[in-house]
Structure formats: C-alpha cells, structure tokens
Chain A
Amino acid sequence: MIEKQKIRPDALKKLLEIANDPYGCLADLRKKKRIIGSTLADVPEELIHAAGLHPFLILGTNDPIRHSTAMLPDNSCSLARSNLELVVGYQGAFFDGFVLSQVCDTTQHLCDIWKRKFPDHYFENFLAPRQVARPSARDWYAQECRRLRAALENYTGRKISDEDLRQSFGLYNENRSLLRRLYDIKRDVPALMTNREFFDAVKATFFMDKQEHSRLIQEVLHWADQEKHHVTEQDGYFKAIMVGIVVEPPHLYDMLDEVKGGIVGDNLCTASRYIYHDVEVEGDPAEALADRHLRKPYFTPINEDVRRIYTDLVSLYRERKAEAIFYVHIKYCESQDYDLPDIKAQMRAEGIPFLELETEYQTTHLAQMKTRLQAFCESVIRKGLS
C-alpha cells in the first residue's frame, strides 16, 4: 500500500519536470517573451523582468561535451565548460540575449569567448563587485544596476519605470518568501519531501515564469501544510548542511536522501543565497538591489572577512543543530581549491563531521562517491545504518 505522504501533488511533479528538462518544458516561453540567459551568480533578474524580458539562469548540462573542449583549457571548471557547451551545442537558439556576470577569472574570460560565439545576440556583462568588504562595493553594485537598466532600456526600446521595478521586486520577494516557507516545513518534517524534490522545486524558479512558479509553490505549500501532520515516520533522519556553489550532478541529493540526511541549511547559489533576503520595495531601486546583494550569505569568490569561509559554516551548523556538513567541491573551482584546506582544518578543530564531495558535471562514476558518503554517515555520524 502506498503511504499517504508519498502521494505528491501535480504541482510538485510539474516543478520537478521543469527543473530536469527546462528547455523541453518551456519551449512556449519564447513565443511570449524574449529570453535572456544569465550565469551564476548575482545578476539582478528583477531588472531583466521589469524590462519585459524573461530572465533564465543557465545551469549547465549533463549532456556529453562535444564543442566547448576545443575552446577552453582542460583545467577549466565543469560549470564553465558545460554552460558554454549548452549554449554552443544544444540550446543556443533558445536565447535572445545574455547578461553574464563575472566573479572569477573563469567567468570573466568565459564572457569574452561567449560573446564572440554569439555576435548577433544581445550581450551585456554584469560587473558585480568582487569585494563586499567596504562601502565602495555597495555603490558599485548600485551603479552596475543603473548601467544594466539603461542597457536593457536601449535593447528593448522601452523605459523601465520605477513602478515596473517595484512590481518586479514584489513578485520576486513573494516567490522567495514562498520558497522560504517551504524550506521551513521541509526542515521541520524531513520525511515529507526529499532533498531532491525540494531543491529541484527551487531550481525551477530559475527557469520559469515567476508568477507561474509561485502559483505551483503555493499548491505545494498547501499540500505540505496538510500532509505534515500525517507524517509519522520521522525516525532515523539526521540534520545535514549542504555547502558549495551548485549541487551537480543532482544525484548527490538522492544519495543523501538514501541515508536519511535531511538538509536543514545551505549556502548554495541555487538555494539559500537566492531565496534569503528580499529587496526593499521603497527607495532607490538600484540601492535596494545593492542592499539585498550585501545581505546574501558568503560566496567564496567574493572577498570579505577572510575567516567567513568557515565561521559562517560553524554558525549555520550550530544554529540549525546539524550533525554533519557536506561540501560539494566542483573540480577545478579555484575559489574552493584555496578555501578547502583551511575549512577542513577548522572543522576538525571544532569537531564538526565534514565530508568533501568532489564532482563535475558529466560525472558518471557516482558509485564510489556513494560508498564514501555511506561510509562517512555510518562511521562518523552513526547515521544511515541499515
């Protein structure tokens, strides 16, 4: 007999479908709006939305790499490689233009190669500050928002009014708020939905029409609010923190689900860094976006207090009463390469169980990683025992 809580609402099924095949599911979008692709992280999508365009976050592909290998050095990270592959090899026709952000050497120089590949597309760099340690960063972020706003107006031939922006801020704030509510429920009732389901539901927001995504999330919330009272099997779950930039391939979530590790906190660009903190609707729009940017969780390529690479993790771990931290390390990500030894040393000093999972897009050898994760859970935190 199927347990009651295992029956998922159609809204959730739809979100998961889009998260895993956005290009197949959203082909109709192009008929309604011009699609502007952007890359991680920190492009203010609200500006693109307020310009009457559809912002779409490009999150790579797990399909085979055929084209980008010849354009990049072999030690470039797989996120860069697969993003370029996706647009050059698979989905270039899906996009009308791109707004690409620069946070490291790879992303900066990737922009140049990308632009050359798409000479007929609208193209804009978003030069987010690579330090947020001093007041100049806030003003620079606001200035870049003003430049992007003017560039988008020029592209569309239509003014973006402050009222347009306020409406977009409201729409995005509402969406973030709904996702936060769902995260709260998932945290409290880990058996209600899997990690994969929750984070895929979040992922879908990077692709979809915001209003439609919020509508689907509201339906999921409605279901979750009802079902959480019926979930009886809460034993055996442990609280995990997921750390990194993105979790790819997403099977990593499945592995954690299998050992009953419920994610109760994260600092991922594709989760908390996105859903926490809203934009103030009143006041100067560019400054409001800058304020939101500065409130976001620590992000490794952006310089601030150099100890935040581990102090934030320790705080999150303690605040959420977690039992382990899982660090998803994208191979050849220089930021993470420099941080990891100091993070590991600090975790050892704090007595925090910590597991690094080194992955790449197109990772096919997951069995070994699964064994490591299971062994870690069984031996270090005494969880996931069958």
Chain B
Amino acid sequence: MNKEAGETREKPSAKELSKQLTAAYLEDARTAHDHGKYVAYTTAVSPVELFVAHDIIPIYPENHAVACLTKQMGTELSLAMEKRGYTSHLCAYARSDMGYRITGKSAMGGIPDPDFLLACNAQCFTLTKWFEVLARQYQVPLFVFDTPQWIRDPGARKEIVKYCVRQLKEMIASLEELTGKKYDYDRLAEVMAYSRDASLLYRRFLDMAAYKPSPISIFDALIHMAITVYLRGTPQCVDYYQTLCDEVQAKADNGIGVVEDERFRLYWENLPVWFKFRDHFNLLKSYGANILTSLYVHSWSYEFDTSKDPLETLAENYVSVFSNVTLEERAEMALDLFQRYALNGSLMFVNRSCKAVSFAVYTLKDILSEKTGYPALIFESDMGDPRFYSETQIRTRIEAFLETLQRREAEAV
C-alpha cells in the first residue's frame, strides 16, 4: 500500500524540498548533542566535506546572519553588540551574530553552540577575527585554514596546495582528538563524490542564466545556493539540485523568462543587499532589466576531481575562490560570465561589511568597463544594516543607470 501511495504522490518541488531539507538539517543540529554528535561552526567557503565525513554537523553563522538580515533585524542586533564596545564598521554578519548571542533574538529560532570552529580565510580575513571572539566566548578550539592568495605562479601554486593539504591533515588530527574517533577516508571519498555531483548540478543551474530570456535571476541563485552551502557532501543535496535543474530547464525549454521582454542582462558585483533584494529585483524588472549572476553565487560551483587525493582537490578548490585570486584573475572570471551569459551592464556594490570583496571594486570597475565597453554603476552601502543604506539616493542612481542603458539601446537602433 505504501508503495502504491508513493507511486501516486507527486515528487516535491525544489522549493518544497528546500524547506524539508532545511528543517531536517536544523533539527539534526539542534539535537546533535542529545545524540552524542558534535557541532562545528564553519565559514561558507570551507572544506566542510571533512566534517560531513566525520559525522560532525556543520553550522554556518553566516547563513543564520543572512536570515536575520533579510528580516531587517540587522540594526537591532548590531546595536546590541555596539553597546558591548564593538564598532558598527565590522561585517554585518559578525555584528548580527554577536548581537544574537547577546539578545537571543533570531529569525530562525537560533543555532546550537559550537564544539569546534573552522575559519577558512580564502573567503575573508574578518571571519578569523570574528571566530576568535567566539572561541574565547565558548572556550572551544579554533582552526584557521590559511589559504594564501592564489597568485598566478605555477610553482607557487604547487607549494600553496602542499601547505593547504598539510593543514587539512592537521585539521583531521584535531577532529580525531575532538571526537576520539579515527578518521574514515573511505567515507570521505563517498562524501567527495556527492559534493562533486551537487557542485556540478549547482553550476548547471547557475549557467541556465545564459538562456534568452533567462529563466532565473540572481535572486533565484541567492535563494537556491543555501542548500549547497550547508548540505554539500550529502545525497540529498544532489537530489535537490537535480530537481531544481529539471524545473528550470523546463522553463527554459518553454521560453519562460523571469523578466518579460528582457532587455538588459546585468552583472552584480559583491554580496547582495540582503534586506533590499526583492525591491531591487522589482525596480529592475520595471525597466526590463535582470541581474543574472555574480562571482559571489559562483563561489560554490566547485570542480572536485575525485580521481585525485581528496585533500588535494579540496585544497585546490577552496584556495581558488574568487575572493582569494588576484584582481587580474578575478576580472577574467567576471569577463567570462559577461561572455557566457551575454551580459551588457554591471551594478557594482561597494559593501561596507565586506572589505575582502569590496576593496578593489573601484579598480575592477575600471577593468570591466575598459574590456567590455558596457556601463557600470558603483554604489556604497551595507549588505545588512539599513542605517548605511540611503534609499532615495541609491534608487535614484539605479534609475539613472537604467535610463542610461535605455538611451544606449535607443541609440544603437
């Protein structure tokens, strides 16, 4: 009977799957200690496969912070930590997280306390310092996975990978010490295979932005990237992206675009303004514009080579994320997106919260404008704190930019 019921039940949509998977993951994390499991905090770009293979539940304070910032809790949480002597100049994720720890306020019922912390500095340096604060607060070990800048020197790159692999071995030793359990490399190989498959499917999903009209916008990517951030290395993650790709492919096959009469296909630089992204989407849509992609959402489209030593392919993938390459290479990565997705303009956000991504944006704009000839708009604000978002000014500037695009389009005709 069960089988019969199963046969007639419709397969859940990606959206439904996402809800189910997120609920199950959080339940596992919240009850981890009841079941003798460990919880490790880690950074969104980090070799989380090592945790998954050792039955340690990874928790991402950044993801929790995104949930709080999207619900417009950024200012309230930041003010709580500012009262403790921290400055409002810090990353909004860190401010939101530390504010949550003071007030207990959360957009998703909170996250469990950590037994172990891993900070991978390929993503940024601020995470190391933020996690140092947490390590002191919870008196738990912090492991910094140090990933030197992925400079364009083949000899240096070989040595960087060696250094990173050695550190991953040091980390495995730390995990064995924490859990008292020997590390299982066969299990790691299985996890790597799931991670490889999910990452390829995630990339396929992102690449559907190349269709005209595009069946996705960057806002879809920002929503759907969550599962690969916290569930990569699991079979559920692979199923999820397969479902998502099937859904989006069907839209593309039927010529369904996110924006009707799509005229402007834009690149976004930086993380999003989390509490504004729906507004931004609607504003752009009213002009026939769609932001299709960014290097940020591509941070999780890894290419794990499972024919290699798993530690080596982990090291190669995590050290070479866009925020850790040279500016020259980052510009080439962005130009590749321009070419593959037929983009014709950029919105470049200088994010007060993220020096790692924002520091060179002015120079990056010069390079992209020079190489593509397409216009770009730069604006400064904060990804999570409305106090640093000037509504009228930014809206006016985006509108002016869109009008420029319209004018260029009219002149071209």
Contact = CB atoms under 8 A, between A and B. Distances in A.
Interface string A70-105: 111111100000000000000000000000001011
Interface in A116-144: 116, 125, 127, 129-131, 133-137, 139-140, 143
Given A104-B125, A113-B360, A338-B133, A134 B170 contact: yes
B84 A341 contact: yes
A70 B360 CA distance: 11
Contacts of B148: 102, 127, 129, 140
A306 interface: yes
B115 to A, nearest CB: 16
The size bracket of the interface on B is 35 or more
A108 B354 CA distance: 13
B159 A143 contact: yes
B394 to A, nearest CB: 16
A41 to B, nearest CB: 14
A29 interface: no
A115 B331 CA distance: 14
Contacts of B94: 338
Contact of B355 (A70, A106, A306): A106
Interface stretch (A3-11, A261-269, A329-337): A329-337
A342 interface: yes
B126 A334 contact: yes
A351 to B, nearest CB: 18
Contacts of A301: 125
Given A116-B363, A131-B144, A303-B128, A109 B163 contact: no
Given A105-B356, A342-B133, A112 B328 contact: yes
Main secondary structure of the interface of A (DSSP, over half): helix
B350 to A, nearest CB: 5
B155 interface: yes
Nearest to A301: B125
Contacts of A127: 148-149, 151, 156, 160
Contacts, number: 133
A138 to B, nearest CB: 11
Interface in A143-193: 143, 147
Contacts of B89: 75, 332, 334, 337
Residue among B130, B132, B358, B363 with the highest chain A CB neighbour number at 10 A: B132
A342 B356 CA distance: 24
A340 interface: yes
A385 B362 CA distance: 50
A365 interface: no
A197 interface: no
Given A306-B136, A341-B84, A136 B129 contact: no
A112 B360 contact: yes
Contact of B90 (A140, A147, A337): A337
B355 A334 contact: yes
Contacts of A108: 125, 149, 356
A143 B125 CA distance: 22
Interface in A180-219: none
B163 to A, nearest CB: 5
Given A113-B363, A125-B151, A341-B86, A136 B133 contact: no
Contacts of A228: none
Contact of A337 (B86, B163, B356, B362): B86
Interface in B224-273: none
B360 A303 contact: no
A303 B307 CA distance: 33
Contacts of A335: 129
A110 interface: yes
Interface string B325-350: 01110000000000000000000001
A207 to B, nearest CB: 27
A114 to B, nearest CB: 10
A140 B149 CA distance: 13
A254 interface: no
Given A112-B326, A113-B363, A147-B159, A339 B125 contact: no
A306 B359 contact: no
Contacts of A307: 136
Given A109-B327, A111-B149, A136-B163, 6 more contacts: A74-B380, A108-B125, A130-B121, A135-B170, A136-B167, A337-B90
Interface of B: 84-87, 89-90, 94, 119, 121, 124-126, 128-130, 132-133, 135-136, 142, 144, 146, 148-149, 151, 155-156, 159-160, 163, 166-167, 170, 326-328, 350, 352, 355-356, 358-363, 380
5 shortest interchain CB distances as A-B pairs: A112-B327, A109-B359, A338-B129, A341-B85, A127-B148
Interface of A: 70-76, 102, 104-106, 108-113, 115-116, 125, 127, 129-131, 133-137, 139-140, 143, 147, 301, 303, 306-307, 309, 332, 334-335, 337-342, 344
